[in-house]
Amino acid sequence: MNVSRYTMQKVAFAIITTAAISVVIPLVLVIGYIVAQGIGALSWEFISAIPRNGMREGGIYPALVGTLWLTIGTAVTSIPLGVGAAIYLAEYAADSWFTRTIRLAIINLAGVPSVVYGLFGLGLFVIFLRFGMSILAGSLTLGIMTLPVIISTTEQALVAVPQSFRVVNASLGGTTWQGIRKVILPQALPGIMTGVILGLERAAGETAPILFTVAAFFLPRLPHSVFDQTMALPYHLFVISTQVPGMPIRIQYGTALVLMAFVLTMNLLATLIRRHYRRRRQW
Amino acid sequence: MNNTVTPGKAKLVLNDVSFYYGDQPALKQINLRIHANEIVAIFGPAMSGKSTLLRILNRLSDLAEEGRLEGEVLLDGKNIHDPDVSVIQLRTRVGIVFAVPVPLPLSIRENVTYGPLLRRGRSKGELDDLVESSLTAAALWDEVKDRLPEPATALSGGQQQRLCLARVLALEPEVILLDEPCSGLDPISTMKVEEALLALKESHSIVIVPHNVQQASRIGDKAAFLLMGELVEYGVAEQIFTRPKDPRTDDYITGRFG
């Protein structure tokens, strides 16, 4: 076969362009389909009323609030730990068997299936620590699951800050910690926030980790404390899609639409933060 | 080695200082005495250990991975590696300006106040005075006095270099180290930096790695010629540049190698 290299170039270019475009297709289809099916269910009542008549009528208010609480709970448990660990790894830790072990643990943590986290949360938080099925147990479980994402994105954001800033800080008589607080962390903050939001967004959409630790099948009221169970959007979606006979389809897709909007809004927020700071960045 | 030792008490003394990166020696058995109120120019070809020598003087060399120091460095007679010496405090007494200016991603003013604010609380008035005096001494005040809140990165290269000098002066150091501070500068900026240094000599010890032999001879009171980590010759600058004792120094300054 004697195809000219220019033809080969065109063929290769066509293939990779097709690949790039086809990546977008599923996303567009998923969003388009859910919006088309679910938009009819949306109303103020749908997001502000409790479910009625075996969840076949009414709204999803308790599930929406529950997911909001779980997201906040996840943030509270995972951000300090994750950002702290990342600062340690990026700024203080020397390369030793100890830090290599920590890194290996983080990589493995990222690979654990989410349902295993759920089971782990059930064993540790719900049963052993006697938190019961509760927002606390669910937040801790989701928090641990989110840790690897937060640690790795935070570490990348810190490492991306030029080394010369650290040397300048030291040369002006600054301690490592002063350099981190005054220069490195502020510069890395947009990257850290982006990573944190992306991690939380994933947690907000997870079903398996909350299945055994917090999610209520049907609890038509708001939670009273962190020791209370709550409904949550992903699990509610699972329930009304598979467990309730005679469920109107538009309510299922309406719920999916709200969950997707919740997650995509966080995604958008992360993008906006990144864009805003990238424009202001001076290096 | 021909070491012309000026009588009197030395500000900085290096006794048999060697430095290794891993197994590679960067400096070999350096003996040097640096006095107050003089400019010492350390010159020599690339990779001769000039930057390493500067960084040893305020222990920035501590940051080098696998770096190892032998010998002793005395500041006012006190070994700077003694356990009771605070490396943080040492670096404010011995400030350094790097070849490539690195303004911190802060405002012009915040760059100058960065060092002082690391140490202790100061009133705004004191800081204002310090900002003005430091920038004035670095020959930058007139150009930036109306734009202190602006980002330091908005300055030109020459201005950034003088800002970095001002940032070090705000530490109120006793010794100023400069690693090719004019390497990226135009002749006018270079002249301004050199004028600033000549004025600063009145109250500081200055050790400079000049970016060429001409600059060494223009501003150096003393000159030290480093070659492959070895101190070949050290003495009064005028003498070194007119009547060097070592043939290698002669070869280098007359441009036979380099």
Q: Are A170 and B60 in contact (CB under 8 A)?
A: yes
Unique residue bearing structure tokens 């670096």: B91
Inter-chain CB proximity B102 and A168 less than 8 Å: yes
Structure-model confidence comparison of residues A125 and B193, the more confident one = A125
pLDDT digits (tens, 9 = 90+) for A185-240: 999 999 999 899 989 999 999 999 999 999 988 888 888 989 999 999 999 999 99
Smallest Cα distance from A162 to chain B, Å: 10
pLDDT digits (tens, 9 = 90+) for B235-247: 999 999 999 999 9
Chain centre to alpha carbon of residue A258? 16
CA angle, B135 as apex, A279 and B85 as ends, to 5°? 95
User: Is any Cβ of chain A less than 8 angstroms from the Cβ of B150?
Assistant: no
Residues of A in contact with B60 (CB under 8 A): 167, 170-171
How far apart, in whole angstroms, are the C-alpha atoms of residue B179 and residue B181? 5
Hey, what are B58's tokens? 């305020």
Q: Work out the pLDDT band at A283, boundaries 50, 70, 90.
A: low
Mean local confidence (pLDDT), A266-272: 88
Per the prediction, chain A carries an average pLDDT of: 91
* pLDDT value at A244 more than 90: no
What is the model's pLDDT at position B8?
58
Nearest by CB to residue A173, choosing from B98, B102, B171, is B171
Q: How far apart are the first and last CA of chain B?
A: 21
Partners of residue B70 on adjacent β-strands: B18
Hey, what are B23's tokens? 């197994």
CA neighbor of B14 nearest in space, from B212, B213, B253, B207: B207
Structure-model confidence comparison of residues B168 and B3, the more confident one = B168
A171: how many CB neighbours lie within 10 A of its CB? 27
What is the model's pLDDT at position B233?
93
Hey, what are A205's tokens? 């959409």
What is the model's pLDDT at position B258?
60
What is the model's pLDDT at position B2?
40
How far apart, in whole angstroms, are the C-alpha atoms of residue B59 and residue B93? 11
* pLDDT value at B6 more than 80: no
What is the model's pLDDT at position A275?
86
User: Is any Cβ of chain A less than 8 angstroms from the Cβ of B168?
Assistant: yes
Q: Work out the pLDDT band at B38, boundaries 50, 70, 90.
A: very high
> ipTM above 0.90?
no
Structure-model confidence comparison of residues B114 and B255, the more confident one = B114
pLDDT digits (tens, 9 = 90+) for A133-155: 999 999 999 999 999 999 999 99
Q: Are B109 and B170 in contact (CB under 8 A)?
A: no
What is the model's pLDDT at position B170?
94
Give residues with Cβ within 8 angstroms of B230, minimum separation 6: B28, B29
Single-letter amino acid, residue A172 = L
* pLDDT value at A259 more than 70: yes
Inter-chain CB proximity B92 and A172 less than 8 Å: yes
Lowest average pLDDT, out of A51-60, A87-96, B5-14, B175-184, goes to B5-14
Measured between CA atoms, the residue of chain B closest to residue A94 is B65
Please state at what angle helix B124-137 crosses helix B108-119, rounded to 10 degrees: 120
Q: Work out the widest C-alpha separation in chain B, in whole angstroms.
A: 56
Interface test with B, best of A91, A161, A165, A172 (most B CBs within 10 A): A172
Per the prediction, chain B carries an average pLDDT of: 90
Smallest Cα distance from B241 to chain A, Å: 32
What is the model's pLDDT at position A274?
83
How far apart, in whole angstroms, are the C-alpha atoms of residue B22 and residue B16? 19
CA neighbor of A212 nearest in space, from A121, A109, A145, A113: A121
Q: Work out the pLDDT band at B3, boundaries 50, 70, 90.
A: very low
What is the model's pLDDT at position B230?
93
Q: Work out the pLDDT band at A85, boundaries 50, 70, 90.
A: very high
Lowest average pLDDT, out of A99-103, A262-266, B1-5, B182-186, goes to B1-5
Q: What DSSP letter does each residue of A24-80 carry, written as one string?
A: HHHHHHHHHHHHHHHGGG-SHHHHHS-EETTTTEE--HHHHHHHHHHHHHHHHHHHH
Q: Helix count (H) and strand count (E) of chain A?
A: 12, 2
What is the model's pLDDT at position A282?
64
User: Is any Cβ of chain A less than 8 angstroms from the Cβ of B100?
Assistant: yes
How far apart, in whole angstroms, are the C-alpha atoms of residue A205 and residue A149? 15
Chain centre to alpha carbon of residue A122? 20
Domains belonging to chain B, first-starting first, are: 2-253 (3.40.50.300)
Nearest by CB to residue A175, choosing from B88, B105, B151, is B88
Q: Work out the pLDDT band at B7, boundaries 50, 70, 90.
A: very low
